[in-house]
């Protein structure tokens, strides 16, 4: 029998042994739990864990597609894309978590390096400091988009923490202002915003690709690439009908005339007479699509296609052609030009011309005679003829904001409204529509469709008038540029030129203003026309304002230069005899 002290000692020992057994049992349970958990993770949850790991450390990055080039008809690049980088920063990169050691690059980050970065990227120092502020809650801040490779390398040399570089492309326009209105431009995301860049954006932009990447342990930066998911598909090239040589010539001479005449604006369109291909299309004032800083959006418009104006006397050859084709007048008919009263309003000429032949009507640009010719035709027939040459309907380019012009319905015309249509008021056209209408004279009665894409033939040409009428009218408007005509300054040495002037008052609030539109449309060589050019100068302020005085000289320089560039033989008899005598 145990003594009380021994009983106490035995009881204490049993209690200690029980605790040891409990602890041992708990340890066994813990080990078993760990083994079971490990087995679960290794055998049952493998796919889930791998998916989570990929989600946390693996990701995909978009690969930009190369945007197709825009080229002229000879393959000269007018718009190209160059590889660039978009530079961004992660403010959280140098933010330390509990127990985390600072990154070596973070330790080397100082204000001097941030100043260097700000200087390289032309950014305010405050913006750069904010991009690296670890107190920020942001994980992504753009520093600079579309940085060229040379500058990107200089930034990389700074070895700044948390800076990432995303590949992209930047659009460049080698011809600058020459083609600005025609080509338009892209935005920071390389999407077309104006002009052909917008019209053919889906063709040019291509299809973006992607690649899989692994991020570092902090998930703050890309450690390395893993694999390509989808290769980017480059956009298609666009081959234009434009001839870069003629485009530059037109740009240079139009700008010279624009400045000389102190004009508000100016437009020029050049067509290939036998195909309707647009060889040049320029506007003033222009802009540099490579910079585009602080410019009014209105300056981006391609006014040759988007803006309409009253064409003035340039429509008179069309009136004559319509009347001859319909048999309402004869080519030997005479016209008196005394002022006429119509609906309490008077139609008169700027000078007294007496009696004119049909050719004289166009040479002197008589409003009275044009009125008599127009009134000889029924309104419906007259309207249909204008519509058939493209007035009042779209030229069909599908260019952004392309205008259809304005051609009022013939029902309800007064005699005076009927008359004004014969000398270019009460309707509106674009420069392109006017150039297109004149293809009926240049190609012996065929109206051509127009195109900004290179093509060898026009499969959509329509016969509007007979070849006989077309040649008669073309011969008549040759006299316009000769002595006594309204456009002697539009002559081109060595070539026969056929064309017509237009001088139209601009409409404004409450009626017509004292500003003018100076217009000339012509073709050469007149014996077998190859080129058609329309020149329109808006509000010349240097003193002269008649179409022959302002637009005529611009036409002469552009047409003369273009004929020589294209090596089109002279057709003027005197020049031909000189050439033959040299042989």
149: pLDDT strictly greater than 50: yes
Give the residue with greater pLDDT, 387 vs 113.
387
Specify if 3 maps to a domain. no
105: pLDDT strictly greater than 80: no
Which of 193, 215, 239 terminates a domain? The answer is 239
State the average pLDDT over residues 489-518.
93
Phi, psi of 283 (to 5 degrees): -140, 155
State the average pLDDT over residues 39-48.
66
Report the pLDDT value the prediction gives residue 580, as an integer from 0 to 100: 41
Q: pLDDT tens for residues 481-503?
A: 999 999 999 999 999 999 999 99
- The CATH number assigned to the domain holding 521 equals 3.40.710.10
Are 201 and 307 members of one domain?
no
Specify if 458 maps to a domain. yes
Report the pLDDT value the prediction gives residue 167, as an integer from 0 to 100: 83
State the average pLDDT over residues 284-307.
89
Are the beta carbons of 548 and 491 closer than 8 angstroms? no
Which of 239, 261, 283 terminates a domain? The answer is 239
Tokens of 343: 């609906």
Specify if 43 maps to a domain. no
73-82, 215-224, 511-520, 540-549: least confident range: 215-224
Q: pLDDT tens for residues 155-211?
A: 889 888 888 888 888 999 999 999 999 999 998 888 999 999 999 999 999 888 877
Which parts of 348-461 are beta strand (E)?
355-357, 446-447
Are 183 and 260 members of one domain?
no
* Local structure of 124: helix, strand or coil: coil
Domain count, the chain: 2
303: pLDDT strictly greater than 90: yes
The CA distances from residue 184 to 181, 199, 248, 399, 430, in Å, are: 5, 9, 16, 11, 19
Report the pLDDT value the prediction gives residue 519, as an integer from 0 to 100: 98
- The CATH number assigned to the domain holding 168 equals 3.90.1310.10
56: pLDDT strictly greater than 60: no
Q: Who's near 277: CB < 8 A, 6+ residues apart?
A: 73, 241, 271, 450, 451, 454, 455
Q: Angle of helix 367-375 relative to helix 316-326, nearest 10 degrees?
A: 30
Report the pLDDT value the prediction gives residue 51, as an integer from 0 to 100: 62
Specify if 208 maps to a domain. yes
The CA distances from residue 227 to 60, 166, 210, 286, in Å, are: 9, 16, 9, 46
Burial class (CB in 10 A: 0-12, 13-18, 19+), 151: middle
Q: Whose CA is closest to 228, among 60, 53, 50?
A: 60
Burial class (CB in 10 A: 0-12, 13-18, 19+), 237: middle
Report the pLDDT value the prediction gives residue 30, as an integer from 0 to 100: 80
Are the beta carbons of 488 and 495 closer than 8 angstroms? no
Per-residue pLDDT band for 219 (boundaries 50, 70, 90) equals very low
Could you confirm whether 451 is annotated as catalytic?
no
Q: Chain-wide mean pLDDT for the chain? A: 88
Specify if 20 maps to a domain. no
Report the pLDDT value the prediction gives residue 35, as an integer from 0 to 100: 75
Are 447 and 407 members of one domain?
yes
Phi, psi of 466 (to 5 degrees): -70, 155
Phi, psi of 47 (to 5 degrees): -65, -40
Are the beta carbons of 257 and 265 closer than 8 angstroms? no
Q: pLDDT tens for residues 12-23?
A: 666 667 777 778
Give the residue with greater pLDDT, 567 vs 141.
567
Report the pLDDT value the prediction gives residue 45, as an integer from 0 to 100: 63
Specify if 25 maps to a domain. no
Give the residue with greater pLDDT, 129 vs 38.
129
Are 388 and 476 members of one domain?
yes
Report the pLDDT value the prediction gives residue 223, as an integer from 0 to 100: 47
- Marked catalytic residue, from 241, 313, 430, 451: 313
Specify if 13 maps to a domain. no
Give the residue with greater pLDDT, 532 vs 582.
532
Q: pLDDT tens for residues 419-451?
A: 999 999 999 999 999 999 999 999 999 999 999
Place of tokens 């990447």: 213
297: pLDDT strictly greater than 90: no
Give the residue with greater pLDDT, 576 vs 101.
101
> Helices (DSSP H) in 122-238: which residue ranges?
125-131, 149-157, 180-183, 195-199, 201-204
Q: What is the pTM of this model?
A: 0.84
Report the pLDDT value the prediction gives residue 543, as an integer from 0 to 100: 92
Per-residue pLDDT band for 57 (boundaries 50, 70, 90) equals low
Are 422 and 535 members of one domain?
yes
Q: Containing domain of residue 330, as a range?
A: 244-582
Report the pLDDT value the prediction gives residue 508, as an integer from 0 to 100: 82
Are 171 and 260 members of one domain?
no
Are 297 and 324 members of one domain?
yes
In whole angstroms, give the CA distance from residue 565 to residue 559: 10
Are 564 and 513 members of one domain?
yes
Are 248 and 168 members of one domain?
no
To the nearest whole percent, how much of the chain has pLDDT over 90?
A: 63
Give the residue with greater pLDDT, 410 vs 510.
410
Are 365 and 257 members of one domain?
yes
Specify if 411 maps to a domain. yes
Are 322 and 407 members of one domain?
yes
Which of 196, 223, 239 terminates a domain? The answer is 239
In whole angstroms, give the CA distance from residue 487 to residue 478: 10
Give the residue with greater pLDDT, 571 vs 520.
520
Q: Whose CA is closest to 67, among 213, 226, 241, 184?
A: 184
Report the pLDDT value the prediction gives residue 579, as an integer from 0 to 100: 42
Are the beta carbons of 551 and 519 closer than 8 angstroms? yes
Q: pLDDT tens for residues 446-479?
A: 999 999 999 999 999 999 999 999 999 999 999 9
Are 229 and 319 members of one domain?
no
Report the pLDDT value the prediction gives residue 1, as an integer from 0 to 100: 56
């Amino acid at each position: 029998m145990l003594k009380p002290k021994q009983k106490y000692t035995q009881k204490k020992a049993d209690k200690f042994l029980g605790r040891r057994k409990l602890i041992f049992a708990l340890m066994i349970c813990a080990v078993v739990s760990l083994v079971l958990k490990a087995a679960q993770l290794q055998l049952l949850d493998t796919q889930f864990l791998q998916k989570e790991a990929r989600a946390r450390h693996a990701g995909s990055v978009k690969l930009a597609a190369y945007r197709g080039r825009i080229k002229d008809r000879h393959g000269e690049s007018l718009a190209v894309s160059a590889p660039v980088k978009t530079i961004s920063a992660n403010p959280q990169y140098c933010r330390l978590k509990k127990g985390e050691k600072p990154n070596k690059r973070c330790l080397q980050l100082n204000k001097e390096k941030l100043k260097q970065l700000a200087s390289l990227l032309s950014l305010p120092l405050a913006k750069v400091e904010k991009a690296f502020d670890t107190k920020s809650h942001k994980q992504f801040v753009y520093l600079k988009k579309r940085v060229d490779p040379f500058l990107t390398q200089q930034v990389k040399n700074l070895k700044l923490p948390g800076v990432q570089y995303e590949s992209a492309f930047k659009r460049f326009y080698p011809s600058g202002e020459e083609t600005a209105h025609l080509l338009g431009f892209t935005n920071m995301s390389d999407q077309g915003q104006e002009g052909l860049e917008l019209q053919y954006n889906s063709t040019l932009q291509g299809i973006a690709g992607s690649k899989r990447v692994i991020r570092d342990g902090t998930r703050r930066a890309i450690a390395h690439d893993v694999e390509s998911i989808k290769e980017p598909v480059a956009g298609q090239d666009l081959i234009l009908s434009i001839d870069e040589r003629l485009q530059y010539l037109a740009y240079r001479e139009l700008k010279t005339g624009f400045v000389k005449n102190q004009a508000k604006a100016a437009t020029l369109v050049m067509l290939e007479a036998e195909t309707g291909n647009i060889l040049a299309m320029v506007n003033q004032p222009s802009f540099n699509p490579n910079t585009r800083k602080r410019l009014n959006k209105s300056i981006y418009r391609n006014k040759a296609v988007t803006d309409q104006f009253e064409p003035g006397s340039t429509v008179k050859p069309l009136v004559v052609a319509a009347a001859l084709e319909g048999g309402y007048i004869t080519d030997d008919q005479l016209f008196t030009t005394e002022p006429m009263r119509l609906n309490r309003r008077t139609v008169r000429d700027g000078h007294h011309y007496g009696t004119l032949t049909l050719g004289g009507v166009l040479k002197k640009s008589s409003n009275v005679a044009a009125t008599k010719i127009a009134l000889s035709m029924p309104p419906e027939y007259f309207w249909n003829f204008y519509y058939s040459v493209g007035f009042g309907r779209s030229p069909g380019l599908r260019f952004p904001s392309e205008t259809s012009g304005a051609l009022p319905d013939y029902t309800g015309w007064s005699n005076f409204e009927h008359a004004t249509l014969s000398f270019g008021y009460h309707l509106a056209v674009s420069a392109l529509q006017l150039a297109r209408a004149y293809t009926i004279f240049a190609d012996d009665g065929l109206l051509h469709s127009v195109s900004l894409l290179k093509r060898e033939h026009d499969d959509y040409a329509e016969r509007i008038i007979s070849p006989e009428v077309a040649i008669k009218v073309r011969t008549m408007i040759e006299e316009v540029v000769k002595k006594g005509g309204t456009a002697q300054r539009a002559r081109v040495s060595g070539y026969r030129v056929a064309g017509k002037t237009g001088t139209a008052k601009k409409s404004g609030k409450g009626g017509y203003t004292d500003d003018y539109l100076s217009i000339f449309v012509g073709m050469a060589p007149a014996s077998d026309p190859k080129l058609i050019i329309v020149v329109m100068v808006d509000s010349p302020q240097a003193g002269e304002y008649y179409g022959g005085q302002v637009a005529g000289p611009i036409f002469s320089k552009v047409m003369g230069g273009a004929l020589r560039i294209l090596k089109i033989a002279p057709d003027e008899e005197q020049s031909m005899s000189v050439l033959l005598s040299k042989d």
